[in-house]
A and B are shown apart, each in its own frame.
Chain A
C-alpha cells in the first residue's frame, strides 16, 4: 500500500499544473515552522504539578528551553544525513516520513508530560520532531527547483516563507487549545500536544498527496535554458558527496552560519532589548527611581508592547523570505547576498545609535529590515546552491549546508546571552548592554560578505560525468547535453 509513496507514482501526468506544487510545499513548511513557537509551551510546562504556580518537582524554564535546541540540532543532523535518501526516494515519501516523525514527536512528548518524564519529552519533540523538521525542510526544495527552473528563487522562497509563517499559526493555535483544554487541575498541555500532533499530521498529508515531480526533460512553456549562462550559474551537476569537497560549499556554509547568528542576535533578545533601550527610559522619564510603585505602574504595560515588537519581527521575517528570494531571480544570488550582508552590517551599527537617540521608529524600522534579510538568507540559499551545483542533488546539498543553521542555532544564543550577561555583570545599562553584541554581529556580516565575494564557480573536475551516474535514479537524469 505504501508503494503509492514511491517516486515513480508521483511523476506528474499530462495536464498537471505546476502551481499545485508550492501549496504542497507550504503545507509541510507551515507545520514544521511551529518549532519557532515552541516557547508558548514553556511557561505552562513549568506548572504541570502546581497548575496555577510552580511547585517543587516542576520543570524549570532552562530545562525546557533545551527542547528547542535539541530540535534544531536534529533538524540539521537529519537534513544532512537523510538528504541523499530524500533525493533518491522523492518528495512524497520524504514528506510522509517528515509528517510521521513530526506528528509522533508531539504524541511521544505528550506521553512524556503525562508521565512527567523530561527525557521522554526531549526524545519526542526534540529528537523525533527534530528529525521530522530536517526531512520536511529539505523535502520540497529539489522538486520546486525542478518545477520552476525559470524562477527558482521565488519557488523556494514561497516554501521557506511557510517555515517563517508556521510560528504565526502555531503560537495562537497552541495558546487557544491550552485555554480550551485547561481545567482547575490541568494546564491542558497534554491534550494540546495530542491535538496538534493529529492536526499537523493530517495537514502534512495534504502536501504528501498533492506533490508531484516533473517528468524527465519537462520544462515550462516558453522556457529556453540559457546556453551561455552567467559565470555563477551552471548547467552541470555536482553530487552531494562531492559538493562538500568544494570551496564554494564551505564559503556558503560560513555565510549562512554568520547570517543566522546575526539574526539570532536580534531575535534572542528582542523583547528585553526594546524594553531596556527605549521603552523603559521613555516610560519612566521624570519618575523618581526610588518610587518603586510608580516605576512598576509605568513599566507594567511594556511587556505587551515588546510582545508586539516580537510579533512584527516574525511577520517581516516571513515576508523577507518571499520578497528577497524572488528579487534574487532578477539581480542574481551573489548580489542579493551582498545586500543582506553589507546593508545588514550597516543596520546593526545603527541599532545602538537609534537607542542612544531614543528613536523607537528608527529602531523598529532597522530591526524589521534586518529580519527580512535574515529570512531572505534562508530562502535564497537553495537557489544559490542550484546555481553553483546544478539541480540533480540540490536537496541533499542543501541538507548538508543546513548544519550551519544548527551550529548557529546552538552557538548563537550562547554567544549573545554570554555577552549580555558579561555587560550586566560589569554594570552596563540600557543601550550599552547590547551595543557590543551589535558590533560583533556587524563584524560577522562583514566576514560573511568577504566569503560571498570569494564564491566562484565550482571546479569542473567535480561535475558529474555519465560514468558517475550508476546509483542516481533515472528520473534524475536531466543532464543537459550528456
Chain B
C-alpha cells in the first residue's frame, strides 16, 4: 500500500524549529571544513602579493 503524502496546512515557518542549536550545528558541520579550505587557499595565494 502506498503511503499518502503528508500535507502541511500552513507555512512551516509559523511553527519555529524546536532547536536553533540544530541549525547552528548543521551549518558548523559544513562551515568549518569550508572555512579551513578557504583559509588554506588564502595562505597559498599570499605568495602572489609578496
User: A residues near B, CB below 8 A?
Assistant: 8, 11-20, 23-24, 26-27, 30, 162, 165-172, 203, 206, 210, 214-223, 304-305, 307-309, 311-312, 314-315, 318, 364, 474-475
Contacts of A18 in B (CB 8 A): 12-13
Which of the four size classes fits the interface of chain B?
35 or more
> Which residue of chain A lies nearest to B11 when distances are taken between CB atoms in the complex?
A221
User: Are A210's CB and B34's CB within 8 A?
Assistant: no
| Docked pose: A210 CA to B30 CA in angstroms | 12
| Docked pose: A415 CA to B41 CA in angstroms | 28
> Which residue of chain B lies nearest to A25 when distances are taken between CB atoms in the complex?
B30
User: Are A169's CB and B33's CB within 8 A?
Assistant: yes
User: Are B26's CB and A217's CB within 8 A?
Assistant: no
Q: Kindly count the residue-residue contacts between A and B in the assembled complex, taking CB atoms under 8 Å apart.
A: 119
Please judge, given known A-B contacts A8-B5, A23-B29, A168-B38, whether A17 and B12 are in contact too, CB under 8 Å: yes
A6 to chain B, nearest CB (A): 9
> Which residue of chain B lies nearest to A9 when distances are taken between CB atoms in the complex?
B3
User: Are A16's CB and B44's CB within 8 A?
Assistant: no
Contacts of B11 in A (CB 8 A): 218-223
**Would you call the interface of chain A mostly helix, strand, loop, or mixed?**
helix
| Docked pose: A11 CA to B34 CA in angstroms | 28
User: Are B40's CB and A172's CB within 8 A?
Assistant: yes
B45 to chain A, nearest CB (A): 4
B43 to chain A, nearest CB (A): 8
Contacts of A318 in B (CB 8 A): 38
A5 to chain B, nearest CB (A): 14
| Docked pose: A348 CA to B26 CA in angstroms | 40
User: Are B47's CB and A307's CB within 8 A?
Assistant: yes
Partner of B29, one of A165, A206, A475: A206
User: Are A27's CB and B29's CB within 8 A?
Assistant: yes
Contacts of B47 in A (CB 8 A): 304-305, 307-308
User: Are A23's CB and B30's CB within 8 A?
Assistant: yes
Contacts of B42 in A (CB 8 A): 311, 315
Partner of B44, one of A19, A169, A311: A311
> Which residue of chain B lies nearest to A169 when distances are taken between CB atoms in the complex?
B37
